[in-house]
A = this chain, B = another copy of it.
Amino acid sequence: MRSGLTIGEFARATHLSVRTLRRYHESGLLEPAAVDPSSGYRYYAVEQIPSAQVIHRLRELDVPLAEVGKIIATDDPDRRADLVAVHLERLQETLERTRAAVTSLQRLLRPAPGDLEVELRSEPAALVAGITDILSLDEVLPWYDGAMAELDAAVAQPAGPPGGHYDNELFAEGRGTVLVYYPVAEAPSHGRVRPVELPAVELAATIHHGPHDDIDVTYGRLATWVHEHALAVAGPVQETYSVGPRDDPDPAAWRTGIAWPVFRVS
């Protein structure tokens, strides 16, 4: 009997390619049980098959080789499970993103009828209680959560769903003025919360259905619509969170109003 399996036999037993096994040897990920010093032939032991299988599975899950090395070098099953758990979470996230990409792709390629109903309407002036700040694009999300919490505490009787204004510079230049608010009858002034008088404007408005992952699709549509109707944008985009995470935990149920102040370019 030979001293073990040749690389080809081991490759067939583990469904890894010969090429790949050699790379794993070079990188120290999976050392053959023996290497003939004269011929350089690699020989693998049957007991190495489970390790190879673990590596194969991890690679199927796109775990980088370095990480695979750490995992199989760890003996303690608990610590090993922890290392693996990180990647399982990552998989979960990519799965979510993939799902979101698929649905918004379908929406992009096959606009459902009534998917983009843009309405041109006149919005009267309104009094709101708001928090405003100058932010860069990636600061917006965390800032939003804090500001909304403060608004929730300061405004007892909102006269409608919350909204936000996002300066176009924010998207064009990466930095701009942001305002979040509740419409109110009488505006409190408390902490960062200030009364703001929103002027009357002409709006091109639509509603985005579902989670915000693909809200840029609706933005794109709205921008195209505005362009096609020979209108031009006159101010910050206005979002209205008529159904948000507070109202319904299911993202599919969310409704977000998106509107741009516009004027006619004849």
Contact = CB atoms under 8 A, between A and B. Distances in A.
B104 A50 contact: no
Contact of A53 (B91, B95, B110, B220): B220
A227 B57 CA distance: 23
Nearest to A61: B101
User: Max chain B CB contacts within 10 Å: which of A53, A91, A219?
Assistant: A53
A26 B264 CA distance: 37
Interface string A36-67: 00000000001101100110011011000000
Nearest to A232: B1
A70 to B, nearest CB: 13
Contacts of A49: 219-220, 223-224
Contacts of A172: 5, 9, 12-13
A221 B81 CA distance: 19
User: Max chain B CB contacts within 10 Å: which of A9, A60, A80?
Assistant: A60
Main secondary structure of the interface of A (DSSP, over half): helix
**How many copies of the shown chain assemble into the complex?**
2
B91 A105 contact: no
A131 to B, nearest CB: 23
Interface string A135-179: 001000000000000000000000000000000000111100000
A30 interface: no
A200 interface: no
Interface string A205-228: 000000000001101110110010
A98 interface: yes
Given A57-B101, A101-B61, A227-B47, A110 B81 contact: yes
A224 B50 contact: yes
A102 interface: yes
A88 B102 CA distance: 8
Given A98-B91, A216-B53, A224-B46, A105 B12 contact: no
- Closest A-B pairs by Cβ, 9 of them: A57-B105, A60-B101, A49-B220, A50-B220, A57-B101, A9-B172, A46-B223, A54-B108, A12-B174
Given A9-B171, A13-B171, A53-B217, 16 more contacts: A9-B172, A12-B137, A46-B223, A46-B224, A50-B217, A50-B220, A50-B221, A53-B220, A57-B102, A57-B104, A60-B97, A60-B98, A81-B109, A81-B110, A84-B105, A95-B95
6 contacts: A14-B216, A47-B227, A54-B108, A61-B105, A81-B109, A88-B102
